[in-house]
Structure 1
Amino acid sequence: MAWRFALMIDPVAVEDDRTDFADTFTVIDPSAPALTVGELSTQRGDGIFESIGVVDGHPQEVQAHLERLAHSAKLCDLPTPHLEQWRQAVTDAAAACGAGEAVIKLILSRGVEHGPAPTAWVTAAEASDFAAARRDGIRVVTLDRGYAIDVPARAPWLLLGAKTLSYAVNMAAIREAKSRGADDAVFVSSDGFVLEAPTASLILRRGDTFVTPAPNGGILHGTTQLSLFDHLESRGFEVAYDTIPASDLSAVDGAWLVSSVRLAAPVVAIDANEIPMDAAFTASLNDYLLSPRD
């Protein structure tokens, strides 16, 4: 990954009514050290983030990402981000991206241990090449997430609906999937319901209806999934949220893992079950996701 840009943000109160936040940004060398050893994002993963896809310098779905950042901040008892300040930081980062696909990351942490303020920064980097995954598809395995589907409602302090920096479990799941000969994983609850992938949302096709697991089991509501549902509805398809038993996965007419940077990766196998793949239809989804979207 080639880093192209980084800036530190001096967060302001959400009530700040200025219109220009340039003096709250400090552009830094993305290859140079920038955080202190007491930073809680690195010590404990105590913070939140968003990854925004960029196509030919255009950041995609910025408002949706900013709103989800604010939602995560609320769940984690972090200061509410000033959305216009962060929007301007995204604009500065996008200007450094150039042609092709890139990714902008927004990070807000609790700051230095015992410090007075949070730490915030934005980076831009060249995106990985996902052409093969979009074209040829991926194989996934189901992995037990270790909690029942009703746990998030009973234990909100687990932060299961927030996009936090604590991604050790997610990365371990992907390593486990690869050790089993797959490319990625789909989490299922301990009582047998489909959740999401470690870094993506799951969309399933049943005839002309597209469904995704209902966001009531600690599922992160995906910005790409929401955008694709709008697109599918505009094409005359039905879309739905549902509580999906894992046993239903073998009978679907199609499946995709969707995310802001990889976009729509068709699933060609779940565990030992082959899944139908419509290459032309998938290409049309990715054509849409690669088009400018605000």
Structure 2
Amino acid sequence: MSQPVLVLIDPVTPTSAPSAERLRIVPADQPIVTAADLGVTRGDGIFEVIGAVRGQMQATEAHLTRLSRSARMLDMPEPDLAIVEEASRLALAEHEPVEQLWIKIIVTRGVEGSGHPTAWVYAFEGEDSSAAQRDGIAVVRLDRGYRSDVAATSPWLLAGAKTLSYAVNKAVGREAKRRGADDVIFTSSDGYVLEGPTSTVIARFGTTLVTPPPEDLGILPGTTQAALFEIAGELGYATEYRALRSAELEGADGLWLVSSGQQIRPVNTLDGLEINRDRELDDALLEKLLYRTH
């Protein structure tokens, strides 16, 4: 495994200071966050993970747009997206060449009362997803405990923000393991499909690929899902954003979980029920996702 690269950004908010004074490469094992940082004590912060394949960052603009969106949802200072992108590209350039790299962007609210966010970019080799991409995964559905309209009725719950508060997402991963599964699809308490803990859900019905609408359901807008929809169109498939009832997944002609790090993982079973797979289509989508240039 290669050595990760850590780039500090200070300040991450807009300033007239040159980037050379704002970016600093430090040893990846060096402590950079104080014990009073709200990212540590409260999980109060936001993040993004940009995938890079063969030295090419993917969906960079979409990830930065989503980072800004999350900052607004949390009432955090607006990050300077230009310096965040520069730090990401610096981390990529400083990392030794590898086939696939994950570039994680972290912005916390900083030390309580300081009004000064803490920010860094961490480039590293993520887990090997090739087996799941090739062989598929077993998935279970878990009720998230919210209605599908929670984003409209209770915006303070931050549904759809990509925050550092990941205790629930990690807990459902452990629950999936207890149930003999690899991952989870969240459903709403009123029976709609939402998302995975770290992924977007896409279902195929005939020649149409469907994903839940993020703005309506309070889920994260999928950067990899958006790329896959573009690819699907090139392959002759129709695409659609619409609310999906949980029961509809059982009759899908294909089902995938997609994300920046793991790209695309076909679902073999859903709560033990076998799901159809078109392996030729799976392979074509994976190939095009991996080697896209934007």
Paired residues for 1:154-173 under 5 Å: 154-173=153-172
Once the two structures are TM-superposed, the CA of residue 3 in structure 1 deviates from its matched residue by 4.6
**Corresponding letter in the other structure for 2:121:** V
Percent identity between the two aligned chains = 47
2:233 alignment partner, SS class: helix
Q: Which position in structure 2 is the counterpart of 1:33?
A: 31
Regions of 4+ moved over 6 Å = none
Q: Which residue of 2 aligns with 1:293?
A: 293
Shift of 1:77: 0.7
Structure-to-structure mapping, 1:113-262, within 5 angstroms = 113-215=112-214, 216-262=216-262
**In 2, are the aligned partners of 1:96 and 1:124 still within 8 Å (CA)?**
no
Measured in 2, the distance between the counterparts of 1:155 and 1:3 equals: 42
Aligned to 2:268: 268
Q: Deviation at 1:114?
A: 2.1
SS at match of 2:248: helix
Matches within 5 A, 1:29-68: 29-68=27-66
SS in 1 for 2:67: helix
Question: TM-score by structure 1 length?
Answer: 0.96
Query: How many pairs are equivalent?
Result: 292
- 2:109 is matched with 110
User: Do the aligned residues in 1 keep the contact of 2:47 with 2:163 (CA within 8 Å)?
Assistant: yes
Contact 1:12 1:82 in 2 (8 A): yes
**How big is the alpha-carbon RMSD for the aligned residues of Structure 1 and Structure 2?**
1.4
Specify the code of the residue in structure 2 equivalent to 1:186: I
Amino acid of the residue matched to residue 203 of structure 2? L
| CA deviation map 1:110-142 (0-9, x unaligned) | 001222401011101112111100000000000
Unmatched 5+ residue regions in structure 2?
Answer: none
Q: Alpha carbons of 1:2 and 1:157: their partners in 2 closer, same or farther (altered >3 Å)?
A: farther
- Given that 2:5 and 2:91 are in contact with CA atoms closer than 8 Å, whether structure 1 keeps it comes out as yes
Amino acid at match of 2:241: Y
Q: How does 1:10-21 map to 2 (within 5 A)?
A: 10-14=10-14, 16=15, 21=19
Check 1:210–1:155 CA distance in 2 against 1; reply closer, same or farther (3 A cut).
Answer: same
TM-score normalised to structure 2 length:
0.96
**What amino acid sits opposite 1:127 in the alignment?**
G
1:34 Cα deviation (Å)?
A: 1.4
Give the unaligned 5+ runs of structure 1.
none
The Cα offsets for residues 242-292 of structure 1, whole Å up to 9 and x where unpaired, read as: 111111111000000000011100001111210011222111111111114
Deviations 1:18-46 (A, max 9, x none): 7x512201111101211111011111110
Secondary structure, aligned partner of 1:68: helix
